[in-house]
Structure 1
């Protein structure tokens, strides 16, 4: 609710600023025209102007009327409010993003403001903790719905150019002080989210990922592994957990061994580097994760073809029942397969008609067994008695 009030306030202020600007321009135009019409004769008659007079430079200092003056809010203030709201309430993204975008479309009307918007979103996305995913989603949405597109580039193109600047500084940043390295790590993780979320529309078929980011991520990981201190290794592990499966599939499809090379580098670091015990454990877990195909199960469809003959675990999740003699039997016992299904049906019947506390909830008129069930039950009892006498 607080966010909506702020949005209405931003919209009101923006409309008032535009309205006051138009009114001021109109008032200035009307008063100037009237004054010129009434004073033109007297000015001409009393004029002492001379062609040889020195140049005169007028003073255009403007002092706004306090009653009609609205302090125009800045784009930075509005974007900061938007991002703070999305950071604190990421679940509201889908419901609020359309309104946020309409506000930005009303505000960002020049190339200069578009550049400022890109810088604001990039800075906040790499500075606000845990905001890189939402920031990447915001960038993707704006790249498709922000209407302004100057000659210098649209929102997506300017965003990629901004990322390019940070990418080119990676070799210096990775050896910088703690704060510089922290900014680099935030950029790396944001770029990973951007690769997963930024969609580039093509002429035909579904949207594609920004392929230019693919090679950048590979270079950034190699930069981190070239400087195997704990902070750099932790960042690389986070990035690979985030994007590893997608990168691996993409590189395999194009016949590139980049993921194999990265895993080999990790194994070399495990042998030679002097990283901490916790980081070493993280690297080992990452290698295991990749060896298990990033934890994915590829043969789930094969389970639908399982039968008691080809799968020894076919009945492993079925319940076990007992005869009157305490002899266990399950659906795996062909002699009792039919009775097993009947008991399951009775179990479902009991579950549907009795509460958790055991109180009866079904209609008394329906408590008698039907002929088929009664016959099957009697047959089951006779069979059990026969087994008991043997």
Structure 2
């Protein structure tokens, strides 16, 4: 009786299909499975697209991808042989993933140490375009701005091997311009990149070099200034991004002046003046905010350059800003921004006009005399520093206490900032249970 008993879960629980008149097991009207019997799992109807990793990310062309990280290892699988004795799906044959790759990086992995020193072979392949190279590097700089100095030289060498036609040079300028004016907080890095390439891109056309083509591209947006400041919100937003990029470009773009000295481009100086006039001509909130940002960024430099030429353009702009403060159509926050800007300019843009030397510095002649002094608090929570005359005695008392505790910690083998060099070695009151709890506490603190 137990010979045919199956101990597998759910075994022998299917019910036979009823066979009645006119019905048989081969009849199409007969249910194929009973309510208690599961269908076998079906294969997915769609296969992963070519070029996608198993993490679901695109290995090429994604704005979050890092150049050389995924392609470096995935391209090893292009020539992977496939056994002819098995029928393999075409999408698997063309997959860019390979079990022979030395390492695997998911598409969401942020690899901060990417360099471009070993990318020459990959960029020499026929399926890689100039747009891929430039956009990968721009995305890399957007994710890791601090790698600019370490990667720019090797990238420039690769770039000079690609930019050898007029179309390539114009495409390079357009890619950098679009990234600098459309990606938030990239305008500074884009301006630095433009300055470097203006001196190191070897391709020169009869019509000009990298710098002249870049200025020509900026000229096109500059000519639309009067229409842009009166346009809708999306048009103004795009125009404001261009204005801030041009401000960064003025601060970072270096050209050789008379006598071989490095100077800033005067054409950008005149352009920024006209852009500020255009923004203030339509004093809506977004235009005024853009003008404030531009003047906070370049105000001191612009005023110095205009003062050297004995021009009062900054006075005219500040007067127009004061008029906008009285405009009832502006919001309260924007008016506060404008008033803060006027105060900033009246204080010399936050610069100390005549700083005393270190030997001559006193609290009376140097506003930064107490800059590096610590801040203490009274029992009521009121902060006080060495600059507060009413707390001079209390301040000195606190400093003496700091010196006392510093000497005490040094004698006992510890530092004043919580370091431990054998402080608990002489303690005999900690039993093993306390030591274990203390070690557990330290580990949890490190994890946090």
TM-score range relative to shorter protein: 0.5 to 0.7
CA deviation vs aligned residue, 1:309-363 (integer Å, no higher than 9, x gap): 999x9999799xxxxxxxxxx9xxxxxxxxxxxx99x8686676553379999xx
The answer as to 2:183 corresponding to 1:160 is no
Q: Give how far 1:206 is off.
A: 3.5
Are 1:244 and 2:274 counterparts? no
Q: Aligned runs of 1:49-68 on 2, under 5 Å?
A: none
Does the 8 Å contact 2:280/2:288 carry over to 1?
Answer: yes
User: Which residue is 1:285 aligned to?
Assistant: 340
Deviation readout 1:6-26 (Å, 9 max, x if unpaired): 557853244344xxxxxxxxx
| SS of 2:359 mapped into structure 1 | helix
Relative distance call for 1:154 and 1:306 in structure 2 (3 A) is: closer
Q: Confirm or deny: 8 A CA contact 1:10 1:78 kept in the other structure.
A: no
Given the alignment, which residue of 80, 99, 115 partners 2:170?
A: 115
| TM-score (norm. length: structure 2) | 0.58
Structure 1 pair 352/292, CA: closer, same or farther in 2 (3 Å)?
farther
Aligned residue number for residue 12 of structure 1: 121
Distance 2:325 2:177 in 1: 34
Which whole-Å CA distance do the structure 2 matches of 1:142 and 1:151 have between them?
18
Whether 1:255 aligns to 2:310 is: yes
**Cα distance in 2 for residues equivalent to 1:235 and 1:199:** 24
Distance in 2 separating the partners of 1:244 and 1:256: 14
Structure 1: 4+ residue segments shifted above 4 A: 6-10, 306-311, 313-319, 346-354, 357-361
Report what 1:180 is aligned to.
235
Given that 1:125 and 1:132 are in contact with CA atoms closer than 8 Å, whether structure 2 keeps it comes out as yes
* 2:226 matches 1:171: yes
Match of 1:213 in 2: 268
Alpha-carbon shift at residue 211 of structure 1 (Å): 0.9
In structure 2, the CA distance between the partners of 1:289 and 1:351, relative to structure 1 (3 Å rule), is: farther
SS at match of 1:175: coil
Whether 1:130 aligns to 2:185 is: yes
- Report which stretch shifted further, 188-197 or 167-176: 167-176
CA distance 1:310–1:14, shift in 2 (3 Å): closer
* SS of alignment partner, residue 300 of structure 1: coil
> Taking structure 1 as reference, are residues 291 and 174 closer, same or farther at Cα in structure 2, changes over 3 Å only?
same
Residue matched to 1:102: 157
1:76 CA displacement: 1.6
Residue in structure 2 matching 1:271, options 326, 346, 364: 326
| TM-score when normalising by structure 1 | 0.66
- Distance verdict in 2 for CA 1:353–1:205, change over 3 Å: farther
- Give the CA deviation at 1:285: 0.6
CA distance in 2, matches of 1:210, 1:3: 33
Distance 1:241 1:106 in 2: 40
Residues in 2 aligned to 1:131 and 1:277: alpha-carbon distance in whole angstroms = 29
RMSD of aligned residue pairs (Cα, Å): 3.5
- In the alignment, is residue 226 of structure 1 matched against residue 281 of structure 2? yes
CA contact (8 A) 2:191 2:253 kept: yes
The CA distance in 2 between the partners of 1:229 and 1:309, in whole Å, is 43
SS state at 2:124 partner: helix
C-alpha displacement of 1:129? 0.9
Give 2:198's aligned residue: 143
Query: Is 2:384 aligned against 1:305?
Result: no
2:277–2:317 CA contact under 8 A, matched in 1: yes
Is the CA contact 2:123–2:133 (under 8 Å) kept in the aligned structure 1?
no
Q: Rg bigger for which structure?
A: 1
Pair 182,350 (structure 1): closer, same or farther in 2 beyond 3 Å: same
1:299-378 alignment, distance < 5 Å: 299-301=354-356, 304-306=359-361, 353=411, 355=414, 356=416
Give the whole-Å Cα distance in 2 for the aligned partners of 1:175 and 1:198. Answer: 29
Aligned to 1:42: none
Equivalent residue for 2:133?
Answer: 78
Q: Where is the helix percentage greater, Structure 1 or Structure 2?
A: 1
Query: Is contact 2:356-2:365 (8 Å) kept?
Result: no
Q: Distance in 2 between matches of 1:236 and 1:315?
A: 34
Aligned pair in 2 of structure 1 residues 177, 253: CA closer, same or farther (>3 Å)? same
* Count of aligned residue pairs for this structure pair: 288
Deviations 1:184-238, CA, capped at 9 Å, x for gaps: 0000000000000000023535411111000100100010000000010000000
